[in-house]
Amino acid sequence: MAADRVELTLLGQTLSVRTEADPDYVRTLARYLEERVGALTKSGVKDPLAALTLAALDITDELFRAREDRERQDGDVNARLSALVQMLERFRS
């Protein structure tokens, strides 16, 4: 898949991003980030760069927590599968 250029506006700045992702998806990501920055601005953060940084940290925290949850769930599933396999092996013996 060829990389496309996607024009984004974030915090009043126009950015040209080269990506192989669907342009609409990339725009959705930018809108989400802009919304998060807007929420911080409304809550009293005046400096746009500080709001952007805090939003990025918050989103990164969400990502890390989601990964931990997934790893925990994967571990739970693997433990259950192992228990089921052991039960089946006992029945076959």
Residues 1-56 pLDDT 10s: 678 999 998 888 899 999 999 999 999 999 999 999 999 999 999 999 999 999 99
Q: Is 18 left (phi over 0), alpha (psi -120 to 50) or beta?
A: beta
Residue-level pLDDT at 1: 66
Residues 6+ apart with CB under 8 A from 33: 10, 52, 55, 56, 59
**Per the structure block, which two tokens stand in for 2?**
């060829």
Query: Per-residue confidence at 92, pLDDT binned at 50, 70, 90?
Result: confident
List pLDDT tens digits, range 22-32. 999 999 999 99
Task: Report yes or no on whether pTM surpasses 0.85.
Answer: no
Distance CA 70, CA 4 (A): 31
